[in-house]
Structure 1
């Protein structure tokens, strides 16, 4: 996409209604959360995203690029690691030593860390050691800077993570690069996002799960509405460069999904390679893997001591959180959002 073909970002930005903003502010301790709605579907985004939306929409795509896309907390990190190891000939040495955040630039992470970065830089002289100060600056470089320039300088093949809906990405993305999208039961997504919002102090969610659930289903949390996000990718699933996966499929039969991903990437997997890969990706090993579990961020006071990034890795974990009223409400909400579509989650009977 050359400069002479630069496209205007096609979606308008709307302010969130004042009463909705008050409810959001009441439930999040971090005082600088500033959300807006974007486009006809009203995707909720952090305001710093708007400044760079057009740059992302015009990002030059390479035929060798591999994107792992999802609504956040759908099993993205698990899928990233699976994809990276298949594409890089099972290079476990690198996978275990180089953080996944360095192997996969996160396309829009800057919008979450923009204000946090400013707060950190204001107080950087208070950091007690030169080593910690350098680590902090490196973390901010990875998470708070727009990645479009970094991507331009990266060698191919590039592996890129995004939680943006497909309509916010370059229009030629699936015609040029490979995209793996992973979806998950909306109820489990809500629970995992609730813990995620409690984990990262850039959110610092202060309410109970029921409070979060109401935000989530009423499209007042970042990147909601959830089903619109999933349906955009689902409608592209027959494109030869799009592979659509369900988290529940990975949980039920990981080797089968590995074979699908390998075929999509043009790779072959021996039984021996499969055994080691599935062991590497097992929940217990994944939770302990410092290259993927974000535990290194604790020293920067970015994450809460009471939560972990890799949590339980369950399917149908929502049953531990929902009472009967919430269960019925969720069933109606899911049915309403799936009506008129052929999208069905593999573990659901209707």
Structure 2
């Protein structure tokens, strides 16, 4: 039975929001021609995508603040699969930075034949579920999440945007990309943003000075992004995102799940995630 409805489109077995995607945009993504110097930050939704849209332009420009001060984040680092890419791709200069929520198996053929690099950002799925729950409350183009307990069931079953968290993570963790992929966690970015930016810089073979690294880190803090109208989604009309219900940039912390899960929910959630990762030959890297 199809899970498509007025809010969601089912594509290759995963659910995608109709408001920002279309069959045309998904075909555009599949036909997209990757260049060897392209960089794509891949995330499961609510795992640090907006953060990477802030960091990547600054790293690639050597700390020039112009991109984050003059261009909204969905245009400066567009989503590979969303409708907006077709409108801005011709204006993008190399090296191009993009983001994507695609699992590995949905990446276009040109990606596989290119030398384009991937930064995969992974976040504790318990925090992902909490963030996604609040996002569903404030985004009018998504279904009401129901109670938190009901939403956790949907999350574990993969009846949420871009399918199961474990499937998404496994698809990229098991991809044979060698030196083309860098794995980061949201948690290490929270703990030491400068060190994470240094890893990104080194991965992209950029020789950024420590002063530039710290400058980028200062402008990519949660506080700085929340105050930046080019980055905080405040320019999105209220009929699409109602910040009175929940701000888009809500907390930007690690471990907020402890304020939402009861002991039974935490045990059930962790057990399911661990078993599915173990079945894929992976371990659960979060507390």
The TM-score normalised by the length of structure 2 is 0.89
1:73–1:192 Cα contact (<8 Å) kept: yes
1:77 and 1:197 mapped to 2: Cα distance?
A: 17
* The one of 10, 14, 17 aligned to 1:43: 14
Flag the 1:342–1:256 CA change in 2: closer, same or farther, 3 A: farther
Q: Quick check: 1:338 aligned with 2:285?
A: no
Once the two structures are TM-superposed, the CA of residue 206 in structure 1 deviates from its matched residue by 5.2
Once the two structures are TM-superposed, the CA of residue 68 in structure 1 deviates from its matched residue by 1.3
Q: Which runs of 5+ in 1 are unaligned?
A: 1-13, 26-31, 111-141
Which residue of structure 2 aligns with residue 130 of structure 1?
Answer: none
Which residue of structure 2 aligns with residue 297 of structure 1?
Answer: 236
2:94 and 2:82 mapped to 1: Cα distance?
A: 21
* The one of 196, 203, 219 aligned to 1:257: 196
Q: Which runs of 5+ in 2 are unaligned?
A: none
* The one of 235, 239, 247 aligned to 2:174: 235
Once the two structures are TM-superposed, the CA of residue 37 in structure 1 deviates from its matched residue by 5.5
Which residue of structure 1 aligns with residue 111 of structure 2?
Answer: 173
1:107–1:148 Cα contact (<8 Å) kept: no
Which residue of structure 1 aligns with residue 165 of structure 2?
Answer: 226
Over alpha carbons, which structure has the higher Rg?
1
Once the two structures are TM-superposed, the CA of residue 254 in structure 1 deviates from its matched residue by 1.7
Query: How many equivalent residue pairs?
Result: 283
Which residue of structure 2 aligns with residue 288 of structure 1?
Answer: 227
Once the two structures are TM-superposed, the CA of residue 36 in structure 1 deviates from its matched residue by 2.4
Flag the 1:180–1:186 CA change in 2: closer, same or farther, 3 A: same
Which residues of 2 match residues 1-350 of structure 1 at below 5 A? 15-16=2-3, 32-36=6-10, 38=12, 42-46=13-17, 49-110=22-83, 142=84, 147-148=85-86, 150-152=88-90, 154-173=92-111, 175-205=114-144, 207-236=146-175, 239-298=178-237, 301-304=239-242, 305-348=244-287
Deviates more, 1:81-90 or 1:163-172: 163-172
Once the two structures are TM-superposed, the CA of residue 251 in structure 1 deviates from its matched residue by 1.3
1:334 and 1:342 mapped to 2: Cα distance?
A: 12
2:8 and 2:191 mapped to 1: Cα distance?
A: 39
Q: Secondary structure at the match of 2:230?
A: coil
2:103–2:168 Cα contact (<8 Å) kept: yes
Once the two structures are TM-superposed, the CA of residue 202 in structure 1 deviates from its matched residue by 0.7
The TM-score normalised by the length of structure 1 is 0.74
2:264 and 2:96 mapped to 1: Cα distance?
A: 45
